[in-house]
Amino acid sequence: MSYLLRDEAFLRTLTVLYVEDDRDVSLQLGQFLARRVGTLLTAGNGAEGVQVFCRERPQIVITDIKMPVMDGLTMAQQIRAMGSEVPIIVTTAFEQTEYLLRSINIGINEYVTKPVDTGRLYQRLLACAYRLRVEKQLKLAAAVFDNCLEAIVITDADNLIVSVNRVFCQTTGYEAEEVLGSNPSILASGAQERSFYEGMWSELKEKGAWQGEICNRRKNGSFYPEWLAITTLTDQSGRITNYIGMFTDISKRKAAEQHIRQLAMHDPLTGLPNRYLLKARFDLALATACRNGEYLAVLYVDLDNFKQVNDSLGHQAGDWVLQEVSRRLQGLFRSSDTVSRLGGDEFLVVLNAVNRTSDPASAAEKVLESLAIAVEVCGREIVVTPSIGIAVYPLDGADLDALIRNADAAMYRAKREGKNSYLFYEEQPAPAPA
């Protein structure tokens, strides 16, 4: 649809106030206007015109100047005093210079000389309709811009900020006045390498758009992750005029993702790695051990008589004991080692980079010593001793399942032989034939 057709269609949606004291002129011109506007309101003088305007709030006003009671310019002045920017068209010959000067001072938008040429009046109406249509679009765009749930920053061709919206200010902590004229690099956190930005600008130049995750910094210095989409605006000759960036703070989403990963790979009670993460970390440790010609050791730790804690003090007390045991175990080992909870009262420790077969024994003795300290639960001090089985790679198995199975067997031997001790795995001879 052409701009002219759009303006004609838009004019047919508007309410127009026509103020004229000459009944013949008002009737003739009123019929012409009624066929081209949405709603036509009429008044016989400026005073009536002010009343109709206050009651109906038309979008366009057409008025004669010379009228009884109140002239058209005085009416227009009162309308402007209300703070209204409604387009006003006057119909006059401007035979007096005073009228022209007053019209300029009041802010009359258009004029048509008398006798009124309907074609010329219609052009002035379309000019007003165009202005109102553009203003409406701009207001809508401004409302969308300022109420958008995403932060928006607009820069010029030199990448200097010319506009930001409300969410931008809320997200970054900067007021609009603080960033206008600045480069968006004021938000840079330094977390991205120079090559990251080079790739971003290369894609922008090639495709006219880029999107991805980036880490930026708020005014208070805190970092936050955001999902950023940048598009370029060009003029008719293809030259870039603006860059538009829209971004969303994804801190909560990232935290939720991290929480899901935590739940997926950690024991919910103790926070220790579960079997899934244990396997991943063991595979990494195994690859390192193979490369460096080192040993690995697996300690299978099972608490002695733990069922009595649950039966006598309740499961909540038992959970607290398990959490305390996990804290003590974590404090005994290096970050490169892995302490995992297999379930119930069973824990597994993977010792990485073991140089001597005596190292696992030293580790097991530390576990016995640490757990020998009483735990206060429900006003009572209790000691939960462990039985520990040890299997060493590659002597006792080539993979995690074999090592766990053999460490478990050694742990059961330790329980049978008195508990609160540790034993290395020993391959049992096959039973003699009957």
Sheet of strand 386-393, all strands in order from the earlier edge strand to the far edge: 338-343, 346-354, 295-303, 386-393, 422-424
Number of H helices, E strands in the chain: 15, 17
Domain of 170? 151-253
Residue 128: predicted pLDDT: 92
Same domain, 276 and 420: yes
Q: Is residue 431 part of a domain?
A: no
Residue 1: predicted pLDDT: 52
Residue 39: predicted pLDDT: 95
Same domain, 139 and 228: no
Residue 3: predicted pLDDT: 67
The angle formed by the CA atoms of residues 195, 200 and 203, to the nearest 5 degrees, is: 125
CATH number at residue 39: 3.40.50.2300
- For residues 110 and 122, is the Cβ–Cβ distance under 8 A? no
Q: Is residue 187 part of a domain?
A: yes
Q: What is the mean pLDDT of residues 395-424?
A: 94
Predicted TM-score (pTM) of this structure: 0.56
pLDDT in tens, 180-217: 999 999 999 999 999 999 999 999 999 999 999 999 99
- For residues 152 and 165, is the Cβ–Cβ distance under 8 A? yes
Same domain, 315 and 388: yes
Lowest-confidence range among 19-23, 188-192, 206-210, 311-315? Answer: 311-315
From residue 172, give the alpha-carbon distance in Å to each of 3, 47, 177, 184, 206. 40, 52, 13, 11, 29
CATH number at residue 326: 3.30.70.270
Q: Look at residues 120, 145, 170 and tell me which one is the last residue of a structural domain.
A: 145
Same domain, 297 and 223: no
Is the model more confident about 358 or about 169? Answer: 169
Q: Is residue 433 part of a domain?
A: no
Q: What is the mean pLDDT of residues 318-343?
A: 93
Same domain, 103 and 59: yes
Please, what is the average pLDDT of the chain? 90
Q: Look at residues 102, 128, 145 and tell me which one is the last residue of a structural domain.
A: 145
CATH number at residue 247: 3.30.450.20
CA distance 343 to 217: 42
Q: Look at residues 145, 172, 207 and tell me which one is the last residue of a structural domain.
A: 145
Same domain, 102 and 178: no
Indicate the number of domains in the chain.
3
Same domain, 306 and 370: yes
Report the share of the chain in percent with pLDDT over 70.
97
Residue 93: predicted pLDDT: 66
Residue 161 has pLDDT above 80, yes or no: yes
Same domain, 274 and 212: no
Q: Directed axis angle between helix 23-34 and helix 118-147, to 10°?
A: 50
Q: Is residue 247 part of a domain?
A: yes
Give exposure, 316-340, as e/b (b: 16+ Cβ within 10 Å): ebbebbbebbbebbeeebeeebbbb
Residue 365 has pLDDT above 90, yes or no: yes
